[in-house]
Structure 1
């Protein structure tokens, strides 16, 4: 099910969006200010963000930049700002589309569906999302891991960490990058989180967790996945 984060401080608009999105079987999270939006995005990992630019605590463009520091989630701006310069600023910051208020609900939903479709992996990307090693296989698109013929149960955080490492196979991923991509842009020094979750991944996927073959620690720097 597609998860939408609605960032909007006008209750009537929030209510209208919630009703229409839930009627079409979307999961909906809402935030009425930028700080809450950034926290929710990091915690809930939405599939698409609908963002008003006129927020009470910060400009919506700052929210776009904050999100783009760690995620490529589609961002659909919903704003009363009509000037060309303001649209360009939002798009340059990383927004994917721009809808001006007042808006038609059908048009907004069509643009939302288009943004989600564009973000879906192509056939080639789906092939890249399947990773096989001598001891386990992972299908990132289907969120399925199999070891010795049995499904491996991973938590959402374990999945996100695994995905970042697998998509950077053979490369060192710094501790800061992992923390920001998995836990959000306000993280960067909580290396104990990484130690705990890497130990869990190794326990679930490695043949010998004490002597890992695939999830390698580069002391003081980060982690690397090797096939």
Structure 2
């Protein structure tokens, strides 16, 4: 689930955009006053920010420069100002993308995802402690599992499970191998415990990201984490 912050003085536009992105399983915060946007950035901690350019009080370019001082998350302009100079000013202000109005919300969403994923690759500082499963990654130092910048809350046992599968990505792992890794021993009746833990982990991944094919079932044998 991505967290988005939409900043636009047009409340009707905010309402339409908010509804669309929420249908994409995003958590959306809106701000109709540029003067309040900086505070919302700090309180919401969004994964991506969408800005209008022409707003009263503070224009989008100025706001973008201010926001850049407190966060490095992607900033996308959605603007009716479409001259070459307008776009250059937007990028010089710190934007990652500049989308002309009228726009397709489907295209905007794809650009949001692309920018978040690109930004996520620059987040980890200790590469030896990161398992990159783009767009997922595992932080072994923090014992956490992420989709882009968004943490997927999982239990300790689920963390051990995803770590084991990730360390053996694209390999078929048997129920027995998983059971021994998780509990130190295995008997045939433990297969049910393995299946339950995998099912719970899959459900959390699906509910938060919409991805349902990260962990594949290997019929009658076990599972495989698929990473291309």
Task: Give the TM-score normalised by the residue count of structure 1.
Answer: 0.56
1:93 aligns with 2:93: yes
| Secondary structure in 1 matching 2:142 | strand
Query: Is the Cα contact below 8 Å between 1:129 and 1:141 reproduced in 2?
Result: no
| Secondary structure in 2 matching 1:138 | coil
2:84 counterpart residue number: 84
2:53 counterpart residue number: 53
Query: Is the Cα contact below 8 Å between 1:48 and 1:74 reproduced in 2?
Result: yes
Query: Is the Cα contact below 8 Å between 1:126 and 1:141 reproduced in 2?
Result: no
Partners of 1:28 and 1:56 lie apart in 2 by 22
1:203 counterpart residue number: none
Alpha-carbon offset, residue 37 of structure 1? 1.0
Structure 1 or 2, whichever has the larger Rg, is 2
Distance 1:35 1:107, change over 3 A: same
Alpha-carbon offset, residue 119 of structure 1? 1.1
1:31 counterpart residue number: 31
Alpha-carbon offset, residue 141 of structure 1? 6.1
Partners of 1:65 and 1:124 lie apart in 2 by 24
Alignment of 1:155-194 (within 5 A): none
User: Aligned pair count?
Assistant: 141
Distance 1:81 1:50, change over 3 A: same
Distance 1:20 1:72, change over 3 A: same
Distance 1:124 1:47, change over 3 A: closer
Query: Is the Cα contact below 8 Å between 1:129 and 1:140 reproduced in 2?
Result: no
Distance 1:124 1:39, change over 3 A: closer
Partners of 2:113 and 2:61 lie apart in 1 by 22
Partners of 1:138 and 1:117 lie apart in 2 by 20
Distance 1:62 1:51, change over 3 A: same
1:62 counterpart residue number: 62
Task: Give the TM-score normalised by the residue count of structure 2.
Answer: 0.56
1:136-159: CA deviation from partner (whole Å, max 9, x where unpaired): x53476569xxxx9xxxxxxxxxx
Query: Is the Cα contact below 8 Å between 2:8 and 2:34 reproduced in 1?
Result: no
1:23-61: CA deviation from partner (whole Å, max 9, x where unpaired): 010000000121211110011110000110111210101
1:61-113: CA deviation from partner (whole Å, max 9, x where unpaired): 11110111121110010011011111101101110000111111111111111
| Secondary structure in 1 matching 2:78 | strand
Alpha-carbon offset, residue 127 of structure 1? 3.1
Distance 1:128 1:51, change over 3 A: farther
Partners of 2:10 and 2:123 lie apart in 1 by 40
